[in-house]
Amino acid sequence: MKFIAAFLLLLSVAAPAFAVEPGERLADPALESRARTLSEQLRCLVCQNESIDESGAPLAHDLRVLLRERIAAGDSDAQAVKFLTDRYGNFLLLKPPVEPATYVLWFGPLGLLVVAAGGALIFLRRRQAMPDAPPLTASERTQLDRLMKEGEGR
Amino acid sequence: MIAELGLYALILAFGLSLVQATLPLKGAASNHAGLMATGQGAAAAQFVLIATAFIALMHAYITSDFSVANVYENSHSAKPMLYKITGVWSNHEGSMLLWVLILSLFGAAVALFGDNLPPPLRARVLAVQGMIGAAFLAFILFTSNPFLRMNPVPLDGQGMNPVLQDPGLAFHPPFLYLGYVGFSVTFSFAVAALIEGRVDAAWARWVRPWALAAWCALTIGIAMGSWWAYYTLGWGGWWFWDPVENASFMPWLVGTALIHCAIVVEKRDTLKSWTVLLAIVTFSLSLVGTFLVRSGVLTSVHAFAVDPMRGTFILMLLVAAIGGSLTLYAIRAPKLAGGGLFAPISREGALVLNNVLLTTAAATVFLGTLYPLFLDAVGGPKVSVGYPFFNRTFVPLMVPVLIAVAAGPMLAWKRGDLLGALQRLWIAFAAALVIVMAGLYLAGFAPILSILGLGIAAWVAVGSLTEWADRVKLFRAPLGDTWRRAIHLPRSAYGMTLAHLGLAVSVAGIAASAFSVERIELLHPGDDLDIAAYHLHFVGTEPVPGPNFNADRATIEVTRNGAPVAVLHPERRFFTLQQMTTGLTAIHTNFFSDLYVALGDPDPSGGATIRAYWKPLVPWIWIGAVMMALGGMLSLLDRRWRVGAAAGKRLPAAHPAPGE
B530/A contact by beta carbon, under 8 A = no
For residue A119, list chain B residues with Cβ-Cβ distance below 8 A. 356
Q: Which of B32-36, B131-135, B451-455 has the lowest mean pLDDT?
A: B32-36
Terminal C-alpha separation, chain A:
45
What residue of B is the nearest CA neighbor of A134?
B338
Cβ–Cβ gap A56/B381 under 8 Å: no
pLDDT of the residue at B15: 95
Q: Domain spans of chain A?
A: 13-92, 102-153
Q: What is the pLDDT of residues B310-362, one digit of tens each?
A: 777 888 888 999 999 999 999 988 877 666 788 888 888 899 999 999 999 99
Give ipTM to 2 decimals. Answer: 0.83
Distances (CA, A) of B293 to A64, B113, B243: 30, 33, 8
Which whole number is the average pLDDT over B43-62?
A: 96
Residues B556, B562, B564, B565, CA torsion sign? negative
Hey, of B246, B277, B393, B561, which one would you mutate to test binding to chain A, going by the most A CBs within 10 A of its CB?
A: B393
Residues 314-353 of B with CB under 8 A from A: 341-344, 348-349, 352-353
Using the predicted structure, report yes or no on whether residue A11 has a pLDDT greater than 50.
Answer: no
Gap between the Cα atoms of B430 and B31, Å rounded: 61
Using the predicted structure, report yes or no on whether residue A8 has a pLDDT greater than 80.
Answer: no
Distances (CA, A) of B432 to B447, B592, B613: 16, 19, 27
Hey, of B346, B352, B615, which one would you mutate to test binding to chain A, going by the most A CBs within 10 A of its CB?
A: B352
Q: What is the pLDDT of residues B415-450, one digit of tens each?
A: 888 888 888 899 999 999 999 999 999 888 878 899
Which whole number is the average pLDDT over B506-525?
A: 91
What residue of A is the nearest CA neighbor of B245?
A48
Q: What is the pLDDT of residues A13-44, one digit of tens each?
A: 333 333 467 778 888 888 888 888 898 889 88
What is the total residue count of chain B? 660
Using the predicted structure, report yes or no on whether residue B481 has a pLDDT greater than 90.
Answer: no
Q: Residue A4: which of B360, B387, B438 has the nearest Cβ?
A: B438
Phi-psi region of B373 (alpha: psi -120 to 50; beta: other; left: phi over 0): alpha
Hey, of B253, B269, B356, B585, which one would you mutate to test binding to chain A, going by the most A CBs within 10 A of its CB?
A: B356
Which whole number is the average pLDDT over B299-311?
A: 55
Using the predicted structure, report yes or no on whether residue B405 has a pLDDT greater than 60.
Answer: yes
Gap between the Cα atoms of B425 and B430, Å rounded: 9
Query: In the 8-state DSSP scheme, what is residue B606?
Result: S
Using the predicted structure, report yes or no on whether residue B136 has a pLDDT greater than 80.
Answer: yes
Residue pair B387/B241 in contact by the 8 Å Cβ criterion: yes
Query: In the 8-state DSSP scheme, what is residue B533?
Result: T
pLDDT of the residue at A20: 66
Cβ–Cβ gap A19/B518 under 8 Å: yes
Cβ–Cβ gap A49/B240 under 8 Å: yes
State the burial class of residue B321 (Cβ atoms within 10 Å of its Cβ: 0-12, 13-18, 19+).
buried
**Residue B235, CA atoms < 13 Å, CB-side half-sphere:** 18
For residue B343, list chain A residues with Cβ-Cβ distance below 8 A. 128
Gap between the Cα atoms of B295 and B307, Å rounded: 7
pLDDT of the residue at B335: 79
Gap between the Cα atoms of B459 and B410, Å rounded: 14
Query: In the 8-state DSSP scheme, what is residue B650?
Result: P
Gap between the Cα atoms of B500 and B467, Å rounded: 11
Cβ–Cβ gap A49/B241 under 8 Å: yes
Amino acid symbol at B597:
V
B364/A contact by beta carbon, under 8 A = yes
For residue B438, list chain A residues with Cβ-Cβ distance below 8 A. 1, 4-5, 8
Cβ–Cβ gap A96/B600 under 8 Å: no
Using the predicted structure, report yes or no on whether residue B493 has a pLDDT greater than 50.
Answer: yes
Residue pair A94/B387 in contact by the 8 Å Cβ criterion: yes
Q: Which band of pLDDT confidence, cut at 50, 70 and 90, is reported for residue B171?
A: confident
pLDDT of the residue at B91: 87
For residue B600, list chain A residues with Cβ-Cβ distance below 8 A. 21
Which whole number is the average pLDDT over B518-537?
A: 91
Q: What is the pLDDT of residues B95-106, one digit of tens each?
A: 999 999 999 999
**What percentage of chain B has pLDDT greater than the value 70?**
94
Residue pair A42/A51 in contact by the 8 Å Cβ criterion: yes
Q: Residue A91: which of B357, B368, B383 has the nearest Cβ?
A: B383
| CA distance, residue B293 to nearest chain A CA (Å) | 13
Residue B551 pairs in a beta bridge with B544, B573
Gap between the Cα atoms of B20 and B184, Å rounded: 15
Q: Residue B435: which of A4, A117, A119 has the nearest Cβ?
A: A4
Q: What is the pLDDT of residues B543-554, one digit of tens each?
A: 999 888 899 999
| DSSP H/E element including B617 | none
Query: Cβ contacts of residue A1 below 8 Å, gap of 6+?
Result: B431, B434, B435, B438, B458
Report the mean per-residue pLDDT for chain A. Answer: 78
- Among B320, B459, B341, B441, CA closest to B399: B459
Give backbone dihedrals phi and psi of B144, rounded to 5 degrees, phi first: -140, 55
Which of A82-96, B52-66, B398-412, B594-608: highest mean pLDDT? B52-66
> Per-residue DSSP letters for B299-363?
-SSS-----HHHHHHHHHHHIIIIIHHHHHHHHHGGGG-------SSSHHHHHHHHHHHHHHHHH
C-alpha R_g of chain A = 29
Give the distance from CA A51 to its chain's centroid. Answer: 14
pLDDT of the residue at A19: 41
Residues 189-248 of B with CB under 8 A from A: 233-235, 237, 240-244
CA angle B299, B301, B303 (to 5 degrees): 60
Q: Which band of pLDDT confidence, cut at 50, 70 and 90, is reported for residue A7?
A: very low
pLDDT of the residue at B546: 86
Cβ–Cβ gap B592/A20 under 8 Å: no
pLDDT of the residue at B642: 55
Gap between the Cα atoms of A16 and B447, Å rounded: 13
Residues 25-54 of A with CB under 8 A from B: 41, 43, 48-51, 54
Cβ–Cβ gap B517/A89 under 8 Å: no
The bridge status of strand B586-589 relative to strand B593-602 is antiparallel
- Among B313, B308, B315, B397, CA closest to B356: B397
Reduce the DSSP state of residue B385 to 3 states and report it.
coil
SS (H, E, C) chain A: CHHHHHHHHHHHHCCCCCCCCHHHCCCCHHHHHHHHHHHCCEECCCCCCCECCCCCCHHHHHHHHHHHHHHHCCCCHHHHHHHHHHHHCHHHECCCCCCHHHHHHHHHHHHHHHHHHHHHHHHHHHHHCCCCCCCCCHHHHHHHHHHHHHHHHC
Which whole number is the average pLDDT over A103-114?
A: 94
Query: Cβ contacts of residue B430 below 8 Å, gap of 6+?
Result: none
Cβ–Cβ gap B393/A109 under 8 Å: yes
CA angle B442, B444, B450 (to 5 degrees): 90
Fold of A13-92: Helicase, Ruva Protein; domain 3 (1.10.8)
Hey, of A21, A40, A48, A147, which one would you mutate to test binding to chain B, going by the most B CBs within 10 A of its CB?
A: A48
Query: In the 8-state DSSP scheme, what is residue B392?
Result: H
Cβ–Cβ gap B387/A102 under 8 Å: no
Query: Cβ contacts of residue B36 below 8 Å, gap of 6+?
Result: B24, B27, B28, B119, B120, B122, B123
**What percentage of chain B has pLDDT greater than the value 90?**
54
Q: Which band of pLDDT confidence, cut at 50, 70 and 90, is reported for residue B68?
A: very high
- Among B99, B242, B77, B87, CA closest to A44: B242
Q: Domain spans of chain B?
A: 1-160, 517-617
Using the predicted structure, report yes or no on whether residue A3 has a pLDDT greater than 60.
Answer: no
| CA distance, residue B299 to nearest chain A CA (Å) | 8
Residue pair B125/B186 in contact by the 8 Å Cβ criterion: no
Q: Which band of pLDDT confidence, cut at 50, 70 and 90, is reported for residue B640?
A: low
Residue pair B415/B342 in contact by the 8 Å Cβ criterion: yes
Using the predicted structure, report yes or no on whether residue B617 has a pLDDT greater than 70.
Answer: yes
Hey, of A91, A103, A127, A144, which one would you mutate to test binding to chain B, going by the most B CBs within 10 A of its CB?
A: A127
